[in-house]
Structure 1
Amino acid sequence: MSKRYTSTGNKNIVSVYLDDDTHALLVSAKNRSGRTKSTEVAMRLKDHLRRFPNYIFF
């Protein structure tokens, strides 16, 4: 069993649908970092939300 992204409070599951290009970018990023896709997504989402807390997409 692979190690998952774990931290205190990590209790929520989110599912997303990605287009092929975005998925390829994610796979490339996780291969460079050596992390799992789940960990890569969690870290990048957390980073984005902290850096852009008031970002609104229209």
Structure 2
Amino acid sequence: MGELKDRAKGLTNEALGNVKEAAGKLTDNPSLQAEGLAQQAKGKVQQAAGKVKGAFGNEI
């Protein structure tokens, strides 16, 4: 179950990060744009953790 949670959280963070990045570009707000990029990176890490958990059967 941990695999699915991590992957779902990762997808959510990536999507929200994309929205923040786009909003930052649109409003010329570099801080919001950077926050979006950071959130996207967090999402990618969460997805990778979910994949690892899936490969090891949630034992880690």
Whether these two folds match at TM > 0.5 is no
Bigger helix fraction: 2
Query: Normalization by structure 2: what TM-score?
Result: 0.31
Looking at CA atoms only, which structure, 1 or 2, has the larger radius of gyration? 2
